[in-house]
Amino acid sequence: DVKVTQSSRYLVKRTGEKVFLECVQDMDHENMFWYRQDPGLGLRLIYFSYDVKMKEKGDIPEGYSVSREKKERFSLILESASTNQTSMYLCASSSEFMKTGYTDTQYFGPGTRLTVL
């Protein structure tokens, strides 16, 4: 079974702190994704990566950065946390990238509920 793990289920930080959210997958997947999910707004893509040291901006990258130094690990960084970054953060991984017409399933981690005070 595919397993995607995230470093924390719940996290509380102060405004202005630097926050690291870690995601690890054990299936040798090429692609990894970071989403945030907010009531009424659904899942929104922050950043994704299709290879080590590669990154692409999603729909809402402002205020975030990412790091992918190893294939199995994808980190989301909030350089200076703000209250509007309070959200559920979901990491996902998949094994194909832009193969013509078809893509493999994205598997999600359990999520990190981040509260910024």
Partner 1 sequence: QKEVEQNSGPLSVPEGAIASLNCTYSDRGSQSFFWYRQYSGKSPELIMSIYSNGDKEDGRFTAQLNKASQYVSLLIRDSQPSDSATYLCAVKGSQGNLIFGKGTKLSVKP
Shortest CB 65 distance to partner 1, Å:
18
With CB under 8 A as the contact rule, the residue among 19, 29, 33, 55 that binds partner 1 is: 33
Q: Which residue's CB is nearer to partner 1, number 17 or number 26?
A: 26
Q: Which two tokens stand for residue 40?
A: 């009424």
- Whole-number CA gyration radius for the chain: 14
What residues between 88 and 107 interact with partner 1 by CB under 8 A? 90, 94, 96-98, 101-103, 105-107
Shortest CB 12 distance to partner 1, Å:
17
